[in-house]
Amino acid sequence: MLYAGMSSFDSVEKARNWSRHSSREDFSNSTSSEDMASILLSNGDFDEYAGTSRRTRARTFYSILLMSSRGDIIPVQKKAYGQIVFTRNGF
């Protein structure tokens, strides 16, 4: 592993040509968009479905963006404090 030097916080930094965003995240998983949409629509709460893992939340959010852009589901702000629920397009 190559090291570029020490930071002011005495932590080792990686070389400048190394990027933590160098590999694309694979968002394909065993849950299909239709399955995820039905789970979200039955549950209706992103926080309950997505869980606490940052990676799981990112994957779920990205999948929701894809489904929203296709018009499969529509995220709706239910309450003034920001709870988001999902409705199927056309209902």
Query: pLDDT tens digits for 31-49?
Result: 566 666 666 666 656 666 6
Residue 2 pLDDT greater than 60, yes or no: no
Residue 73: its H or E element: strand 73-77
pLDDT at position 71, please? 78
In tens, the pLDDT along 55-91 reads 877 777 787 788 788 877 777 766 666 666 666 766 5
Give CA–CA dist 36/12, Å, rounded.
40
CATH class of 31-91: mainly alpha
Q: DSSP class of residue 6?
A: E
pLDDT at 9: 46
If one compares 25 and 56, the residue with the highest pLDDT of the two is: 56
